[in-house]
Amino acid sequence: MADDKHKAARRGSKAPKGAARSGHSWKHPLRSWLGSHRDSARQALERLRHNPLSSAMTILVMTIVLALPMGLGVLIGQVERLGVDWQRAAQLSVYLVDNVQPEAATGVLEQVRDLDQVAEAHLLDAEMALAEFKQHSGMGDALDQLAYNPLPAVIVVTPVSIEGGAAVLEPLRDQLAALQGVEQVQIDLLWIERLTRILALLERFTGGLAVLLVLALLLVMINTIRLAIESRRDEIVVIKLVGGTDAFVRRPFLYIGVLYGLLAGLLAWLLLALGMVWLNSAVREVAALYQSDFELAGMPAVDGLTLVAGAMLLGLVGAWLAVGRHVRAIQPT
């Protein structure tokens, strides 16, 4: 009797254990898959540790390739902060007729502000116009000798946008010139055209440079992974002889590409951040010559994270392109 009770107890204790094992059987493939990826990542780290010089050279090349277009893009983005100042440089000067009455000048100002293409407008009477001219012309002593004020009242108009240059500003100039009480409207359209063309040229140059350097980075990554595959040809043959699939062989090399991209992206981010700090001193000096307090901001975190993510993606794509063909070409004989 006692033996039967002990056997029943053993059977009862085994049943829940078996049920638990079957209930969690789905975890084993997942654990195996995660373990395989963990081993592949470890192999990638070991390769970097065993080949420090070649790995460092590859990462440095990738860092420079990533930093050049990203640095230009960040600088253009920083310069766009000057858009408001550039729009003010593109102000239209609306000169009113001589001896205009204050009430009439105020009426013209309200009409100017009602125009859709006008972002801002303010009135300078003759005395204020003369004072501003003295301040910016450097001819204050000579102007003090004048017996009368030769400058008329002027309305300084800031357009909503300078995009499009003369094609946008000429209709606005015609509208302003048609207002009653306006003598002349003056604007430096050539400066606006030059400004918009320079910005467009810089953006196009940066885009083209980025495409060329991305192709160069992919070529560097493909060549690096190809050499890594050739150095492990015998090991790959053995793995395939014992049943290893191409996906299993390919995985460590993909991790190498991602790891190269991660390290290169972080170094490029650091390089750009330090470069912005180094360049900022010169920017402040130039801005001071134009009575401006403009300075470069720090490397934006969003741009840095985008740079790192893009570098990892490029490393993965380059490794995939290299591994796909070369691993299939290695077959046991």
Both structure tokens of 139? 């001819």
What percent of the chain has a predicted confidence (pLDDT) above 70?
Answer: 72
97 and 180 together in one domain? yes
Pairing of strands 182-186, 154-159: unpaired
129 and 73 together in one domain? no
Give CA torsion, residues 195, 198, 204, 210, to 10 deg. Answer: -120
76 and 183 together in one domain? no
In a domain, 141, yes or no: yes
Mean pLDDT within 268-281: 87
In a domain, 171, yes or no: yes
Domain count, the chain: 2
Instruction: Give the range of the structural domain holding residue 235, as residue numbers without chain letter.
Output: 40-82+201-329
pLDDT level of residue 133 (50, 70, 90 thresholds): low
Domain of 133, CATH number, reads 3.30.70.3040
Of 187, 212, 235, which closes a domain?
187
221 and 72 together in one domain? yes
> For residues 130 and 288, which has the higher predicted lDDT (pLDDT)?
288
Answer for the pair 66, 268: CB distance below 8 angstroms, yes or no: yes
CA-nearest of 240, 254, 262, 246 to 333 is 240
Phi and psi, residue 132, nearest 5°:
-70, -40
What gap in Å lies between CA 38 and CA 162, rounded to an integer?
55
Query: Based on the number of CB atoms within 10 Å of its own CB, is 66 exposed (0-12), middle (13-18) or buried (19 or more)?
Result: buried
What gap in Å lies between CA 28 and CA 21, rounded to an integer?
10
> For residues 213 and 194, which has the higher predicted lDDT (pLDDT)?
213
231-249 pLDDT tens trace:
778 877 787 787 777 777 7
Q: Which pLDDT does position 13 carry in this prediction?
A: 43
Answer for the pair 241, 279: CB distance below 8 angstroms, yes or no: no
Q: Which of 53-62, 76-85, 138-147, 264-273 has the least mean pLDDT? A: 138-147
Sign of the dihedral through C-alpha 82, 165, 157, 155: positive
Answer for the pair 96, 153: CB distance below 8 angstroms, yes or no: yes
What gap in Å lies between CA 92 and CA 5, rounded to an integer?
104
Up-side HSE of residue 177: CA atoms within 13 Å toward CB?
10
Both structure tokens of 82? 């000057």
What gap in Å lies between CA 56 and CA 12, rounded to an integer?
61
pLDDT level of residue 70 (50, 70, 90 thresholds): confident
pLDDT level of residue 18 (50, 70, 90 thresholds): very low
Whose tokens are 């290169």? That residue is 264
136-190 pLDDT tens trace:
555 555 555 555 555 678 888 888 877 666 667 788 888 888 988 888 888 766 6
Of 161, 187, 213, which closes a domain?
187
176 and 208 together in one domain? no
Query: What value, to the nearest 5°, has the Cα angle with vertex 153 and ends 151 and 158?
Result: 115
> At residue 217, what is the residue type?
L
Taking every pair of Cα atoms in the chain, the longest distance, rounded to a whole number of angstroms, is: 132
